[in-house]
Amino acid sequence: MAQKQKILRLSKLYDDLARDSFDHFILFADLCGSTLYKQRLIQQKMPNNVWLHRQLIFLSMVASHFEAKNGTIVKTIGDSVMISFHYSESAEDILFACVDLTIKLDQLQAFKGKHKMAVKISIDYGDTVNGAIVGNAYDPLGICVDRCARLNAEAEARQIVFSDSFNSLLKAKKKQSKQKMIMSIHNSIEAVKTKKKNIKGVGRITFHTVKVK
């Protein structure tokens, strides 16, 4: 009888977890070169506030930018921001917002030369489970979250990398290739490349890289 009760409780737990799951767009925006920048300033015996303020301004700008585009800031992780979008949002609009942020950071007048900011972004889409253990905010967990985090490492400054799941939601027009369609979303998209690779923890996947002019 005790074993049966344990199995029933376990079944209820899985049911509860399944009910608290949703499809989400997941996005990671990362400040490029911040570790080397910080090391250089430390070696030059510059005050910590110099790199701390730059990092905080980056995090604040990313958060404000995506909140204005209906994104939800899940958390900040060092110099990276994790953002989620509801499944009803447009994949094209999310990609457009990523390109705009890349350009906005590039045009900052206060950060030029060695202080210049550049972002790299990864995007994914898929089923997530609420992993929140503190508070009531939805904290997405799942393969698409892991994959998105791994894909960020495949990006370079001023690049946006996205999974095949996200790519499938971009609406290709008739008589137009997917690559041309993606480039038509924003006139600052310079190139689209597709690659297959074994990614640690998620296996062999296809992903796509957009370069911003």
For the stretch 46-70, pLDDT in tens is 777 778 888 899 999 999 999 999 9
Residue of 150, 152, 130 lying closest to 142 (CA atoms) = 130
Which of these, 211, 22, 23, lies nearest to 121 by C-alpha position? 211
- Residue 140 or 133, more confident: 140
Answer whether residue 15 is part of any domain.
no
Domain count, the chain: 1
The domain that holds 63 is classified in CATH as: 3.30.70.1230
Is position 20 within any domain?
no
Q: Is residue 182 part of a domain?
A: yes
Report yes or no on 165 lying in a domain: yes
Q: Computed over its alpha carbons, how large is the radius of gyration of the chain?
A: 20
Alpha-carbon span 46 to 6, nearest angstrom: 59
* Integer CA distances (angstroms), 77 to 59, 81, 143, 157, 212, in order: 10, 6, 19, 18, 24
Instruction: Please compute the mean of the pLDDT values over residues 192-196 and round it to a whole number.
Output: 95
157-187: pLDDT as tens digits:
999 999 999 999 998 877 778 888 999 999 9
pLDDT attached to residue 14: 63
Of residues 102 and 136, more confidently modeled: 102
**pLDDT-based confidence at 4, cuts 50/70/90?**
confident
Q: For residues 76 and 50, what is the distance between their CA atoms, to the nearest angstrom?
A: 19
The reported pLDDT for the residue numbered 7 is 67
In b/e form, how buried is each residue of 69-104, taking b as 16+ CB within 10 angstroms? Answer: bebebbebeebbbbbbbeeebebbebbbbbbebbee
> Closest Cα partner for 82 from 66, 102, 68, 94?
66
Owning domain of residue 74: 28-212
Between 83 and 43, whose confidence is greater?
Answer: 83
